[in-house]
Amino acid sequence: MIIAEWSLIPIGTTSTSVGRFVKDAVRELEKQRGIRVKPEAMETIIEAENLVELFAAIEKAHNSVFESGVTRVVSEIRIDDRRDKQATMESKTEAVDK
């Protein structure tokens, strides 16, 4: 299982508030099959079976911000691709909490 941290920065908006653009992007992620999404305060955590699914979902979410009228978007992605054992968002959190 791949766990990724993704954040986006819409640039060229008419306001310093970007929540509506983030909401549109998260909604687009939630439509994608084969992934799980967990919005957080500063980023969104995405769980996917493989990189193809992950990148396809992020591409659609990234593009959805342009469809909202933004003229520039910066996306940051950090990927944890562990192949020696199964990991989930919950298992990683539980490991930290122990």
Please give the pLDDT value at position 33: 92
- Which residues 6+ apart lie within 8 Å of 51 measured at CB? 2, 79, 81
Q: What is the pLDDT along the chain (98 residues), one digit of tens a residue?
A: 899 999 999 998 888 888 899 999 999 999 999 999 999 999 999 999 999 999 999 999 999 999 988 999 999 999 999 888 888 888 888 888 88
Q: Select from 31, 89, 84, 87 the least CA-distant residue to 61.
A: 31
Q: Where are the domains of the chain?
A: 2-97
- What burial class does residue 87 get, using C-beta atoms within 10 Å of its C-beta: 0-12 exposed, 13-18 middle, 19+ buried? middle
Residue 47 DSSP label: E
CATH code assigned to 2-97: 3.30.70.930
